[in-house]
């Protein structure tokens, strides 16, 4: 059974980038079809990535706070020992609510949703293959590829083994491991290291580089490494796997350095690949790079001007927040022929370890390499009244600013609620003229007691260093 339908635009993928593009087009009166290969909207962000991992992290973080509360230390009635499977229930509830909400967005804006596998027939025609051998043929003047990415899977690793997982399949873990090996110490690896350690699972974190999260300011990377070490996470730097062997009751990791390790299970979290392998790019002359990512211009057009690509499928910055903006920019380019907006220069990053890390702007390493005369202002969370009230004992805020004009150049935060706190500094950084001066934080009155007070403390600390 086959049907034929025409639209102004087709969006392949219903994650943040696809949703934003579809909404932008639909609100301008365009007829839009959304193709989603999964049985629910939301994409990888909602079902396997951002939403479930952050929901898991939130639950574990609250459990950690509960355990550390001094009022409950001697009360065995309040001992909490949940399993990974237990905390998945909370994530499932959040995912269900997200799907319901996003489904409603599409219906209210008149978008047509088709569930199935999309494949290009030609540059303006797509076949959507459904279950039970049915299909639809769609045609549109514009097509937006928002298929996202998936975990990178080396061919030498047997991901069909019951004890070997990637960052998607780890959500299917049903038995509580006593120990786990996490191969890859990027953002995903570090976040899951925090989650499992918070559940009292022994964690071996294998880093293929010399230090954690090398793109961060060195102080933030060092703070995370120190926290992990104090919390019992074993980090092994500059290691690569030779082979991964799965048995009936364990996984054995053989490293090129000659080391051999074993654990109840292994999470492979070393890289991502663009989802372009099965959409028929060969039928339209488009070619992805070796990691499956598509090249685009400043308006997110591919080499075929009527075909756009947005979100993780284009690679960097691979952030849900940026993906929303990319979809919005692509929709504007389609409507007006040119995009008047673009991604902001200073995109904040949020890393949801326990505690969180968040940054915006330049790092000390970058400013040193650029030979920019800068100064540093620091605030330790343990010195803030609000942190003392809620029991936050670790964390810091770091401001980098120009020594001469005092312009804010970078803000880096390690500690609970860092991903929220960073936006205060980001808002000031984006101001024009003298509005982004570090003295703003000294001359502005903050609520007291709050974590935002860290900005005033850090600003005073930095200004006191000037001479």
d(CA 348, CA 355): 17
DSSP 3-state assignment of 110? coil
pLDDT of residue 375: 98
**Residue 128 pairs with which residues in a beta bridge?**
118, 136
- Among candidates 367, 371, 395, which has minimal Cα distance to 457? 395
How far apart are the two ends of the chain, measured CA to CA in Å? Answer: 78
What phi, psi does 107 have (nearest 5°)?
-65, -45
pLDDT at 69 over 70: no
Q: What is the pTM of this model?
A: 0.94
Going by pLDDT thresholds of 50, 70 and 90, the confidence category of residue 132 is confident
Q: Work out the average pLDDT over 445-457.
A: 95
**443 alpha carbon, distance to own chain's centre:** 34
Q: In 35-75, which ranges are continuous DSSP H helix?
A: 43-47, 50-68
Q: Annotation-wise, does 186 bind a ligand? A: yes
DSSP 3-state assignment of 251? strand
pLDDT at 194 over 90: yes
> How do residues 54-68 score in pLDDT, each as one tens digit?
999 999 998 887 776
Going by pLDDT thresholds of 50, 70 and 90, the confidence category of residue 70 is low
The per-residue b/e assignment along 367-384, b for 16 or more CB within 10 angstroms, e otherwise, is beeeeeebbbbbbbbeeb
Q: In 215-363, which ranges are continuous DSSP H helix?
A: 218-231, 320-336
Q: Annotation-wise, does 149 bind a ligand? A: yes
pLDDT of residue 443: 93
Question: Is-contact 84 248, C-beta < 8 A?
Answer: no
d(CA 319, CA 215): 15
Going by pLDDT thresholds of 50, 70 and 90, the confidence category of residue 432 is confident
CB neighbours of 202 closer than 8 A, spacing ≥ 6?
178, 179, 180, 232, 234, 263
d(CA 459, CA 447): 16
> How do residues 247-301 score in pLDDT, each as one tens digit?
999 999 999 999 999 999 999 999 999 999 999 999 999 999 999 999 999 999 9
Q: Which two tokens stand for residue 216?
A: 């961060």
In the chain, % of residues over pLDDT 70: 97
DSSP 3-state assignment of 329? helix
pLDDT at 77 over 50: no
Who wins on pLDDT, 90 or 23? 23
pLDDT of residue 372: 98
Q: Work out the average pLDDT over 424-444.
A: 91
pLDDT at 405 over 90: yes
Please report the DSSP string for 338-405 in residue order: S-S----SS--EEE-SSS-EEEEE--HHHHHHTT--EEEEEEEGGGSHHHHHHT--S-EEEEEEETTT
Q: Work out the average pLDDT over 127-155.
A: 94
Q: Annotation-wise, does 435 bind a ligand? A: no
In order of their start, the domains of the chain are 2-150+273-336 (3.50.50.60), 164-270 (3.50.50.60), 355-463 (3.30.390.30)
CB neighbours of 188 closer than 8 A, spacing ≥ 6?
53, 167, 269
User: Scanning the structure block, which residue is given the tokens 């202002």?
Assistant: 377
Q: Annotation-wise, does 271 bind a ligand? A: yes
Who wins on pLDDT, 68 or 244? 244
Burial of 264: CB neighbours in 10 Å, binned 0-12, 13-18, 19+: middle
pLDDT of residue 4: 86
pLDDT at 428 over 60: yes
Who wins on pLDDT, 16 or 76? 16
Q: Annotation-wise, does 187 bind a ligand? A: yes
* Mean of the per-residue pLDDT values of the chain: 94
pLDDT at 76 over 60: no
Q: Annotation-wise, does 189 bind a ligand? A: yes
> How do residues 353-403 score in pLDDT, each as one tens digit?
999 999 999 999 999 999 999 999 999 999 999 999 988 889 999 999 999
pLDDT of residue 81: 72
Distances (CA, A) of 268 to 37, 91, 261, 444: 24, 21, 14, 46
Q: Annotation-wise, does 54 bind a ligand? A: yes
DSSP 3-state assignment of 284? coil
In the chain, % of residues over pLDDT 90: 87
Which segment, 52-66, 82-96, 330-344, 352-366, is predicted with the most confidence on average? 352-366
């Amino acid at each position: 059974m086959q049907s034929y339908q025409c639209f102004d635009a087709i969006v392949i993928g219903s994650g943040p980038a696809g949703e934003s593009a579809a909404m932008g087009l639909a609100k301008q009166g365009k007829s839009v079809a959304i193709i989603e290969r999964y049985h629910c909207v939301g994409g990888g962000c909602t079902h396997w990535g951002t939403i479930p991992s952050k929901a898991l992290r939130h639950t574990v973080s609250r459990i950690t706070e509960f355990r550390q509360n001094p009022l409950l230390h001697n009360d065995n009635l309040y001992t909490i020992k949940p399993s990974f499977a237990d905390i998945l229930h909370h994530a499932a509830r959040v995912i269900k609510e997200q799907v319901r909400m996003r489904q409603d967005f599409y219906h209210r804006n008149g978008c047509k949703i088709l569930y199935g596998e999309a494949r290009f027939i030609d540059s303006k025609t797509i076949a959507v293959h459904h279950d039970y051998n049915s299909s639809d043929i769609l045609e549109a003047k514009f097509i937006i590829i928002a298929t996202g990415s998936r975990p990178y899977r080396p061919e030498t690793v047997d991901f069909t083994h019951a004890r070997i997982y990637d960052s998607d399949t780890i959500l299917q873990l049903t038995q509580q491991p006593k120990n786990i090996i996490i191969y890859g110490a990027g953002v995903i690896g570090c976040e899951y290291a925090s989650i499992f350690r918070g559940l009292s699972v022994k964690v071996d974190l294998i880093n293929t580089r010399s230090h954690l999260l090398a793109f961060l300011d060195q102080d933030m990377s060092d703070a995370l490494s120190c926290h992990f070490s104090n919390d019992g996470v074993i980090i092994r730097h500059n290691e690569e796997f030779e082979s991964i062997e799965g048995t009936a009751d364990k996984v054995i990791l053989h490293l090129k350095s000659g080391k051999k390790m074993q654990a109840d299970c292994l999470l492979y979290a070393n890289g991502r690949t663009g989802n372009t392998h099965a959409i028929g790019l060969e039928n339209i002359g488009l070619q992805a790079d070796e990691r499956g990512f598509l090249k685009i211009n400043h308006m997110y057009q591919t080499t075929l001007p009527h075909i756009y690509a947005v979100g993780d499928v284009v690679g960097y910055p691979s952030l849900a927040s940026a993906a929303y903006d990319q979809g919005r920019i692509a929709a504007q380019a389609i409507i007006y022929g040119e995009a008047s907006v673009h991604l902001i220069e200073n995109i904040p990053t949020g890393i949801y370890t326990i505690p969180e890390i968040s940054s915006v702007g330049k790092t000390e390493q970058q400013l040193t390499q650029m030979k920019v005369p800068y100064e540093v202002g620091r605030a330790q969370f343990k010195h803030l009244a609000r942190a003392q009230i809620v029991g936050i004992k670790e964390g810091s805020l770091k401001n980098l600013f120009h020594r001469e004009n005092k312009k804010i150049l970078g803000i880096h935060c390690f500690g609970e609620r860092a991903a929220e706190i960073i936006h205060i500094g980001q808002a000031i950084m984006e101001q024009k003229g003298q509005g982004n001066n570090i003295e703003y934080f000294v001359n502005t009155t903050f609520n007291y007691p709050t974590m935002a007070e860290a900005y005033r403390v850090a600003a005073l600390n930095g200004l006191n260093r000037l001479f």
